[in-house]
Structures are given as C-alpha cells and as structure tokens.
C-alpha cells in the first residue's frame, strides 16, 4: 500500500478550519494515530494556499466552510473553490474533506472523479475512529465519496473503468499488463480501480480481498459476466 512507503514520522499534514477549537480537536485526534507527523494549520483559504506553496504536503484535511481571508465570512463555496484549485494544481495530493457541508461536493464531481490522489469524505458527525479510517484510506490513495448524497444518481461507470474490469476479470490480467494494454501507467490503473470501487461502494474491510469484492459487485451490477 502507498501508506506503507511513507513513514509516519515523515508525514506532513495540513489541517484547514476557521474554528480554532475544531482545528485543535482535529489535530489532537490525528496526533494519536500519527504521533510524529508534522502538523501545519490554516484558518483561511489564503493562508492554506500559502502553506501548501511553501511545503509539500502528504495530506490535507479541510473544512469547506472557510473564509477567503481573516475577517471575511466563512462560505462553503470558498472551500469548494480552494479544493478545486488543489485538485487542478496538485493532482496527486491526498485530500480529506471534513465538513458539515459535504453535499456541496456534488458540484465538483467531475474534478473528484479525475483526481489521482486519495480523496475521502468525513462528515463532521462521524466518530473519531471513522474519521481516522477515512484519513488512512486517503493516504493509501483511495477514494471514498459515499457520504455525498446524490453524487451518483444511479451507477455511473466510465469506459476506462469497464476496460479495467474486463481485462482483469475476463482476461485475467494483472495491473502491469493492463497498463500496457491501455497505454497508461500502473498508477493510472490503480486510480481507475479506486474510482470504480468508490462507484460500486466497495471499500477495504479486514479479512476481505477488495479485488474479489469488486468482482462480485461488478457482476451484481451487470458490468461483467
């Protein structure tokens, strides 16, 4: 897994929230899981951009309802625009959206689908344990958008995801050969797997093989024979 390649002591995590008490609480929870990580904070979109330009981050945990600058009103659209910028300029950045406004993410669904880094959603009503699970998944490069109501109105599967399914389960090919056949990188193939698994609502579970679970769900949906 991607996370296994990153020593916890070397992690740099940017946490963005305009409420200092929430900011402190989030860092306290994260520090228990990543005690030696370096935590950087931002209260505004402008501050967050400045911090990200100064240093390469392994993960960004952000609220959506934030102000553009100090003294301005916090708005979900400000966070959405910041998130859109992150995904455009840092396509491999791992992101966790921790917000009470996760439904607004449906507005930027195409950007989320195209993002190559980890992308998970943690509604602020989740427990600390559930939130940490979403953080771990993001660091592994996985996508989890199940909490966004309406992001999938019926199952939407892209042609390249179907091609991966057929090459893997109908022709029995491994990711390296799939990448060669599709003329893309192995990393891109893993990206397709992550997006497909999110669409099928297949996520890591202890004791279960995620590829086998993906195959079963794909068959249930009629995507493969």
pLDDT of amino acid 157: 77
Residues 209 and 18: their CA atoms lie apart, in Å, by 39
Instruction: Answer whether residue 140 shows pLDDT above 60.
Output: yes
Contacts of residue 81, Cβ cutoff 8 Å, sequence gap at least 6:
45
Contacts of residue 22, Cβ cutoff 8 Å, sequence gap at least 6:
63
pLDDT band at 1 (very low <50, low <70, confident <90, very high): very low
- Tell me the three state secondary structure of residue 95: strand
Within 55-185, where are the H helices?
Answer: 76-89, 109-114, 128-139, 159-165, 175-182
**82-135 pLDDT per residue, tens:** 999 999 999 999 999 999 888 888 778 889 989 999 999 998 888 999 999 999
Q: Give the distance from CA 12 to its chain's centroid.
A: 16
Which residues of the chain does CATH 3.40.50.2300 include?
A: 2-144
Which CATH architecture is the domain 159-220 placed in? Orthogonal Bundle (1.10)
Which residues of the chain does CATH 1.10.10 include?
A: 159-220
pLDDT of amino acid 5: 44
CATH number of 2-144: 3.40.50.2300
């Amino acid at each position: 897994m991607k996370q296994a390649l990153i020593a916890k002591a070397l992690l740099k995590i940017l946490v963005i929230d305009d409420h200092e008490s929430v900011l402190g609480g989030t860092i306290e929870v994260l520090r228990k899981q990543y005690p030696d990580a370096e935590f950087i904070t931002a209260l505004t979109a402008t501050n967050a951009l400045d911090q990200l330009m100064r240093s390469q981050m392994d993960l960004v945990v952000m609220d959506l309802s934030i102000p553009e600058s100090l003294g301005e009103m916090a708005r979900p659209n400000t966070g959405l625009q910041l998130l859109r910028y992150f995904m455009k300029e840092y396509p491999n950045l791992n992101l966790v959206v921790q917000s009470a406004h996760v439904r607004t993410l449906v507005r930027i669904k195409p950007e989320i689908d195209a993002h190559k880094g980890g992308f998970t959603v943690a509604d602020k009503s989740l427990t600390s344990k559930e939130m940490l699970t979403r953080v771990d998944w993001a660091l592994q490069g996985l996508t989890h958008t199940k909490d966004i109501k309406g992001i999938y109105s019926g199952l939407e599967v892209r042609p390249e995801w179907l091609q991966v399914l057929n090459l893997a389960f109908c022709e029995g090919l491994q990711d390296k050969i799939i990448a060669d056949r599709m003329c893309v990188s192995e990393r891109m193939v893993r990206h397709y797997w992550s997006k497909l698994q999110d669409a099928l609502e297949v996520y890591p579970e202890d004791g279960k093989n995620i590829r086998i679970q993906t195959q079963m769900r794909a068959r249930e949906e009629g995507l493969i024979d």
